[in-house]
């Protein structure tokens, strides 16, 4: 279905064209990073919708659905920004249930949600499949941390202020601005703007 043209949708169409130009065949994973969780999720939702507008299959997921339980976090030390940054998410489950089976293609099933952080409970898995050419769009904080970098074909960093100590630790250690494929200014959410970082 053709979406209503707005400056935001036109921007995302340009981004979609770039992504599909490089990764239009096979299984691709696009990661959306940023400090504002609602803005990050909305951007990922809209990008997936634009990808599907051109009859390209898109699957949505959020890193927040692969959190560790409170009990497991408590076993990993006192509540602190560093604990949240280093241990807040179950990256092993992310790889096992979503990333690896998605990349396998074919009829292999994958799961986009394993844990409900609000109720602090595991969820009954819903197994999904996708066509041979499909893009998984996943949003989350700390997407550019070292152990995740190799998982994404393309990544977007939504510019924003680091408002927590965990975010400051992440930026100092992972340097997401240097790792992202694209940096986007969402100061005006209706009119996103691409930022080209000067590496000189």
pLDDT mean by block of 10 residues, the chain; 200 residues = 92 97 95 96 98 94 94 77 88 96 91 92 92 96 92 96 90 95 96 79
pLDDT of residue 43: 98
pLDDT of residue 198: 61
Ramachandran class of 162: left when φ > 0, alpha when ψ lies in -120 to 50, beta otherwise: beta
Count CB atoms within 10 A of the CB of residue 20: 17
pLDDT of residue 200: 42
**CA torsion angle 37 38 44 48 (round to 10):** 150
Superfamily for the 7-195 domain: P-loop containing nucleotide triphosphate hydrolases (3.40.50.300)
Q: Which residues contact 46 (CB under 8 A, 6 or more apart)?
A: 8, 9, 12
DSSP-H helix ranges across 2-139: 7-23, 37-53, 70-74, 81-87, 91-93, 100-104
With H, G, I as helix, E, B as strand and everything else as coil, classify residue 41. helix
pLDDT of residue 61: 98
pLDDT of residue 81: 82
Count CB atoms within 10 A of the CB of residue 12: 22
Q: Would you kindly state where each structural domain of the chain is located, as residue ranges?
A: 7-195
């Amino acid at each position: 279905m053709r979406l209503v043209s707005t400056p935001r949708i036109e921007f995302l169409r340009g981004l979609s064209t770039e992504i599909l130009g490089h990764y239009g065949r096979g299984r691709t994973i696009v990661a959306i990073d940023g400090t504002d969780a609602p803005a990050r999720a909305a951007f990922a939702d809209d990008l997936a919708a634009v990808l599907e507008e051109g009859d390209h299959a898109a699957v949505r997921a959020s890193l927040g659905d692969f959190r560790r339980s409170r009990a497991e976090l408590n076993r990993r030390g006192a509540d602190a920004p560093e604990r949240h940054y280093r241990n807040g998410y179950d990256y092993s489950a992310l790889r096992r249930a979503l990333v690896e089976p998605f990349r396998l293609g074919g009829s292999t099933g994958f799961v986009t949600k394993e844990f409900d952080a609000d109720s602090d409970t595991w969820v009954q898995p819903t197994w999904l499949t996708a066509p041979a050419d499909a893009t998984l769009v996943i949003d989350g904080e700390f997407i550019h941390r070292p152990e995740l970098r190799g998982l994404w074909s393309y990544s977007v960093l939504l510019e924003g202020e680091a408002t927590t100590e965990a975010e400051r630790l992440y930026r100092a250690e992972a340097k997401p601005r240097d790792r992202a494929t694209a940096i986007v200014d969402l100061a005006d959410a209706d009119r996103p703007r691409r930022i080209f970082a000067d590496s000189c």
